[in-house]
């Protein structure tokens, strides 16, 4: 995202220098290579800056807000996970009544969990969990 914003600044600068779209496109593609904005995007931003636009950030997009990724649904998914960690995302989705993609997003981003040996476990361990792990390891190591 930051790269495209940087390229928009470059396009804005080229417009101020009164360069053509072709010259601007060549100047952007040379250092950026495969990461350069497409020709269509360069044309669109060049035209917008030529018409007086000053802001390089994207405008707020309109659209329907997500209704399935709510705090209530996060609580529901957490409750199902607390009942049994060996459930798959598909089973959780069936129990909660949400799409699998939303359940996966909630589990990985909101609850910070990942699948390990058929169990969903927290990605980040607490200090207590780390200490417990070390003590168990030491017990087995001395045996």
DSSP 65-86: PPSSSSHHHHHHHHHHHHH-TT
Residues 6+ apart with CB under 8 A from 74: 106, 110, 111
**Which CATH code is given to the segment(s) 2-50?**
1.10.10
In CATH terms, are 2-50 and 71-128 the same topology? yes
Quick one: CATH architecture of 71-128? Orthogonal Bundle (1.10)
Each residue's pLDDT expressed in tens, for the chain with a length of 143 residues: 577 888 889 999 999 999 999 999 898 888 888 888 899 999 999 999 999 988 888 777 777 766 677 888 889 888 888 887 778 888 888 988 888 888 888 888 888 887 766 666 677 778 888 888 888 888 888 76
CA torsion sign, 116 to 119 to 123 to 126?
negative
> What are the sequence ranges of the domains in the chain?
2-50, 71-128
End-to-end CA distance of the chain: 53
* pLDDT, position 19: 92
Task: Quote the CA–CA distance of 35 and 57 in Å, as a whole number.
Answer: 18
* pLDDT, position 109: 84
* pLDDT, position 20: 92
* pLDDT, position 117: 62
């Amino acid at each position: 995202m930051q790269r495209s914003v940087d390229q928009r600044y470059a396009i804005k600068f080229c417009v101020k220098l009164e360069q053509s779209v072709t010259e601007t496109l060549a100047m952007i593609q040379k250092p950026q290579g495969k990461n350069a904005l497409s020709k269509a995007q360069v044309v669109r931003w060049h035209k917008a800056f030529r018409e007086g636009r000053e802001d390089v950030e994207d405008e707020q997009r309109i659209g329907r807000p997500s209704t399935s990724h709510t705090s209530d649904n996060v609580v529901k998914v957490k409750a199902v996970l607390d009942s049994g960690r060996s459930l798959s995302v598909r089973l959780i989705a069936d129990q909660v009544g949400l799409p699998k993609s939303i359940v996966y997003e909630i589990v990985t981003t909101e609850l910070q969990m990942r699948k390990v040996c058929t169990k969903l476990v927290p990605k980040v361990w607490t200090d207590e969990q780390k200490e417990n792990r070390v003590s168990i390891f030491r017990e087995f190591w001395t045996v």
